[in-house]
Structure 1
Amino acid sequence: MRTLVAPGRSRTGYVVALVVTTVVLTAVFVLPLVWVVLSAMKPAVELARVPPTVLPETWTPGTYAEAWDMMDLGTYFRNTLVVAVGTWAVQLAVDVPAAYALSRLRPVLGRGILGMMLVTLMVPAAVLLVPTYMTIADLGLLNNPLSLWLLGAANAFTVFLLKRFFDQLPVEVLEAARIDGANQLTMLWRVVLPLSRPILAVVSIFAVVAAWKDFIWPLLVFSDPARQTLSVALQRFAPDTPVNLLLAGLVLSSLPVVALFLVFQRHVLAGLTAGGVKG
């Protein structure tokens, strides 16, 4: 924004441009969410009206409770929670030690290993679907949460973020712990992890949100309706469910991740900016 309107030359123009940009971006992101929330509280007949109404003429907030009961969303919330929490735990258990090893232990060919990890980010996910599915099927893990936990274990982007953060940790603190007789595992658990809470919050939110909203992979591995996640279940209910009830289900399924981000947004910003200025 400062490159478009210089504050020193035109303070008023700068403020106007900033306000307009903020309002436009807020409207782009917020208005669709508001429309979904309000549309879920309209009767199906009013929702199908052309042109559509902005605010409901007949408010039916009970649509949310009806959608919860009709689609048995409690079961799918529980399934999705198991998948998300398990994916988060397995991912941190694998990626934190891997990033620490690449950052502090500096193994032979460590840079090459990290480079090969990052190359996997350039491979389209669709290319890996068939071989991954065949592997999971051969292991007998279909309709098992392990099929999603293991897939999210080695995340190259998470390893990269963690390594970059570990690289910025004060060497003096680690040297002091080493002089006190701490081994590498003790330093990781008692020194590095407490100092890494901001970046751990960031990668935790990324892991939970990605697992919560994932659709293609759960659709492939969970053929049993009783074990499906929210995203898959809502898609299965879509053809035979009134639109207002389906919208209510979509709103309810989004609430946990929105609440998670609002609660931890300060940690997200701190984690993403940590280590940006070295001094």
Structure 2
Amino acid sequence: MPERGILSSYDLKKPGTRIGYWLMVLVIFIMACAMIYPILVSFFNSLKTNVEVNSFPPRFLPADGWHWENFKTGWEYLELPLFLRNTMIIFVGNMVVTVVVLGLAAFSLSKLNVPKSRTIAMFFLITLFIPPTTYLIPNFLNLKDLGLLNSYAAFWLPAGASAFNLLLLKNFFDGLHHEMFEAARIDGASELRCFAQIAVPLSLPIISTLGIFVFSTAWNDWFWPSLVMHGDQTYPLATAIYKYVLQATRLDVNIRFAILFMVMLPPIAVFLAFQRYIMGGLSMGGVKG
């Protein structure tokens, strides 16, 4: 049975409500067009010749044929499989650290009798108001002193200090019934077993949501990898795009668009495939507790 919306058919009979409704629809439509337009521009420009891309006035659709071979040229220009592998290594490591380290921390604050747990949670909440750029240099210096530069640990270690992900997990754990864990403890289960066999399986929706956030960060971040990674073979995809595509002087513009469009597709596909978990996990993480 479909859920009832905020506005009913009776509400839409009122002139003021109907006008407000269509204004909201218009705003949403404009926002959708503003988001889709850059993707379409990248796609159609990637199918043009370099002369046509640089021509004025510009045309939205290709006029001199659709040059699909531009995608092959872009694939061969940039070692996409190599940089994609580096990105996935960063993502998998960040995800493991998020589930294990932040998951255990959130479980402890939510389900264990940790002294001053509310104060600790408030401390993590306060850190969300600190601009990330202010602790960029301290993080870099810490990793340098630990000898972790030019290694994937430079990404995995900071992933275990995400206050946003910690609070999102804690809010979800707060919504899980204490009786389940009490029954498991009576049966002799340890706290670690309660976390691994009860909390984690029940938290798959919020973990899926965090997976999208972690994937998006690993896929889009180019600045931090350019600071901590110093070898061409270790760059993630976004950094490689910045250094070898956006800053390239002899690369045709249509090939640049072809590479950029190919890089756009995986995040879009991931979101479309897991959008139900994203929206559901956000609502559960924000409402429960």
TM over 0.5: yes
- Residue 36 (structure 1) aligned with residue 42 (structure 2): yes
Paired with 1:120 and 1:216, the residues of 2 have a C-alpha distance of 21
Residue in 2 aligned with 1:225?
232
- Of 244, 263, 266, the residue aligned with 2:273 is 263
In the TM superposition, what whole-angstrom CA distance separates every residue of 1:182-231 from its partner, at most 9, and x where no partner exists?
22111111111111111111111111111211111101011211111111
CA RMSD of aligned residues (A): 2.1
TM-score calculated relative to the size of structure 2: 0.88
* Equivalent residue letter for 1:30: I
* Equivalent residue letter for 1:191: I
TM-score calculated relative to the size of structure 1: 0.91
Moved more, 18-27 or 58-67: 18-27
SS of structure 1 residue aligned to 2:189: coil
In the TM superposition, what whole-angstrom CA distance separates every residue of 1:24-64 from its partner, at most 9, and x where no partner exists?
22111111111111111111111111211010112112211
In the TM superposition, what whole-angstrom CA distance separates every residue of 1:77-132 from its partner, at most 9, and x where no partner exists?
11111111111111221100000000011311222222222222222222222222
SS of structure 2 residue aligned to 1:274: helix
SS of structure 2 residue aligned to 1:134: helix
Moved more, 260-269 or 8-17: 8-17
Preserved contact between residue 90 and residue 156 of structure 2 (Cα < 8 Å): yes
Note the residue ranges of structure 1 that are not aligned, 5 or more in a row. Answer: none
Paired with 2:43 and 2:103, the residues of 1 have a C-alpha distance of 38
- Residue 55 (structure 1) aligned with residue 61 (structure 2): yes
Change (3 A) 1:67 1:278: closer
- Which ranges of 4 or more aligned residues in structure 1 deviate by more than 4 Å? 275-279
- Residue 95 (structure 1) aligned with residue 102 (structure 2): yes
* Equivalent residue letter for 1:29: M
Moved more, 220-229 or 231-240: 231-240
Paired with 2:255 and 2:38, the residues of 1 have a C-alpha distance of 17
SS of structure 2 residue aligned to 1:258: helix
Paired with 2:116 and 2:286, the residues of 1 have a C-alpha distance of 26
Q: 1:16 offset after TM fit, Å?
A: 3.4
Paired with 2:257 and 2:94, the residues of 1 have a C-alpha distance of 27
* Equivalent residue letter for 1:246: R
Preserved contact between residue 47 and residue 66 of structure 2 (Cα < 8 Å): yes
- Of 270, 273, 276, the residue aligned with 2:283 is 273
Question: Aligned runs of 1:135-174 on 2, under 5 Å?
Answer: 135-174=142-181
| Identical-pair percentage | 34
Note the residue ranges of structure 2 that are not aligned, 5 or more in a row. Answer: 1-5
Paired with 1:105 and 1:278, the residues of 2 have a C-alpha distance of 18
Question: Aligned runs of 1:82-231 on 2, under 5 Å?
Answer: 82-231=89-238
In the TM superposition, what whole-angstrom CA distance separates every residue of 1:139-189 from its partner, at most 9, and x where no partner exists?
222211111111112210001011011111122322332333322111111
Paired with 1:234 and 1:21, the residues of 2 have a C-alpha distance of 33
How many residue pairs end up in the alignment?
276
Residue in 1 aligned with 2:14?
9
* Equivalent residue letter for 1:66: T
Preserved contact between residue 106 and residue 169 of structure 2 (Cα < 8 Å): yes
* Equivalent residue letter for 1:54: F
- Of 244, 250, 256, the residue aligned with 2:260 is 250
Residue in 1 aligned with 2:32?
26
Q: 1:18 offset after TM fit, Å?
A: 4.5
Paired with 1:183 and 1:260, the residues of 2 have a C-alpha distance of 36
Preserved contact between residue 68 and residue 74 of structure 1 (Cα < 8 Å): no
SS of structure 2 residue aligned to 1:106: coil
Paired with 2:287 and 2:209, the residues of 1 have a C-alpha distance of 18
Paired with 2:285 and 2:147, the residues of 1 have a C-alpha distance of 43
In the TM superposition, what whole-angstrom CA distance separates every residue of 1:220-257 from its partner, at most 9, and x where no partner exists?
01121111111111111222222221222222222222
SS of structure 2 residue aligned to 1:154: coil
Q: 1:276 offset after TM fit, Å?
A: 6.0
Preserved contact between residue 42 and residue 261 of structure 2 (Cα < 8 Å): yes
Residue in 1 aligned with 2:3?
none
Paired with 2:137 and 2:205, the residues of 1 have a C-alpha distance of 36
Q: 1:14 offset after TM fit, Å?
A: 5.4
